[in-house]
Structure 1
Amino acid sequence: MNSTSAPIVEARNLTVDFAAGRGMIRAVCGVDLSLKPGETLALLGESGSGKSVTLRALMRLHPKSAKIGGTIQVDGEDVLALSPSALRAYRGKTVSMIFQDPGLAFDPVYRIGDQIAETVMRHEGVSRAEGRKRGLELFERVRIPSPERRLDNFPHEMSGGMRQRAMIALALACRPKVLLADEPTTALDATVQIQVLLLLRELQREFGLAIVFVTHDIGVAVEIADRIAVMYAGRIVESGACRDVIRNPSHPYTRGLLASRAHGTLGKDERLHAIPGSPPDLSAPPPGCAFGPRCDNFIETCAADVPPEVTVTTGHMARCFRLGALAEQAEPLAAE
């Protein structure tokens, strides 16, 4: 990653609202994101925190009834202002996505090689033979065994790990500049998960990709990310370089996520730490800090207003009224 290069992705005050009943539910609340070429940003948090909603907003994949606010700039383009034809060119060519379930992302009635070939044909105007050749090259690149034969497979004829590799090949078919990965390793066993993460890092170096990687697994975030943004109830509550966030977690929610991760083998009477309570109902969010009802450090101020961003160190911020007091009480956690 070139630390002096300009951001290729920049979102400011991003909001996403969905119609529900008589009102609107705000699933993403004022998110700011910045990503440079060759950099990986991990969006980390529990299910329902707004990670995937944010990711899909970057590609404008939400239904027309959804309202996206703020600004999204990707490779110099105003994404929210793109016409339908420009949006079709943008998806796949500038930005591409690896979906969480490749079994659902592929059309089950078409061979995978044909789906990749058609994607290349539509975006680059090449022949079907050229599109298939690109698919074969990518299958070889993502290390799918017997790649020429596998191009003629239907999605159901591949294992989960192989389908995920085919999904990565499809996402890279038109050589995008930004790759959005929506929990691409969640359904895989540990060995295949590591293989996919190593493959993504290798492909990133080769193609210079900027990657936004959504995960609820802090161990995966540590393996893949340069920077981490922790999301809760639609807001980024802590962000910074991966090393800074892991070594010095400054928001109670981040500390809870770290503490709830298994380290080695638990003893007979040991239990994993669990964050009490559940994420809030976004149709009726609590006043002030959304994490307040689950926080051991809750004070009256927390219910009065949304905490502002507080700088922990350069490039590392958190949203917590008690940030100073917590920093004094807590010892930094060692990096894995």
Structure 2
Amino acid sequence: MGNKRKAREVHSDDDDLSKKRGKRMDDGDNAGVKPQLLPSMIKNKDKRAAVYAKIKQEKKLEKKKIAKAREALESRALELGEALPPRKIPRTLENTREEDETVCKAGDEELLAGNDADEFSAVLKDGREPKVLMTTCRFNSTRGPALIKDLLTIVPNSEYYKRGTYDLKKIVDYANNKEYTSVIVVHTSRREPDALLVIGLPNGPTAHFKLTNLVLHKDLKNHGNPTSHKPELVLNNFTTRLGHRVGRLIESLFPQDAELKGRRVVTFHNQRDFIFFRHHRYIFENKGEKKDANDNNKDNGEEKKTLTKDVIARLQECGPRFTLKLISLQHGTFDTKGGEYEWVHKPEMDTSRRRFFL
């Protein structure tokens, strides 16, 4: 027993000695290095705020110093006729997007062959004139018909029918008999439009969109009044197979022979699976701007001004303005019970902020 107790005491003494040696070695390594003082380590509120303000000011000055050095390099490169130094590309959710196998590539023969045989080829390829029927849900408020009133000025060759008590399937059958190419249904909840249903005829598909951030034509400040010309259509950033299909569904609502003299543009811009809708009128004009002349035109230290004309484009928003988010895409026309879905948005799909589907 005595020998075991002595052995334990020897081991404990060795451990204490090794700890002390390790502490001394650490102190030697960090000798002369001042520990970094973080604002969160300071308990006094005023001192903490002062340290934080000092750090923020130092970062601001460093940023200005880097920008000034970059401007000097660019000006020197311009003087020597050399290539400008490359700029750093900021990291965004778009350029760090997760890779997707369904992204469309240029010259994809399979995609082009599918375009010739899909449901929209009759309008987009064969030249059939689009004809759109618009209606609301059964229990709608004044905002629903007000949105449809704005949409009637945007989508050419479109008509509005009151919903009444008719089922949507009967409305689709009626639209097919009258040779409509699409049906748009505006759904309202709590007196506010919150969803949009776009049904392609005669064989679908049916897209269900969530509608948010609605601003009607009359509520826009300094809004313009659109003409009756057929608008130009701009579809941006529909890159995947699903996005390509949704883009063709939207494209089938508008005629393909836009009247450019009307200077109307309808834009559907997809960003992070949110589709932003805008309606503008544009005009090109010459604007005179005063610019400094070359150094040769300087006389007695005074700079002479020359008047140059630049062609600029002015935009005037006509409205309405809203945002769409795809909820589901269904095969065929609208059928909630026996319908087969091509794509449905589910909550578990939102686990990554860098994963997009359109």
**Pairwise TM-score range, normalised by the shorter structure:** under 0.3
Greater RCO (Cα-Cα under 8 Å, separation 6 or more): 1
With structure 1 as the length reference, what TM-score do the two structures score? Answer: 0.20
With structure 2 as the length reference, what TM-score do the two structures score? Answer: 0.19
Larger Rg: 2
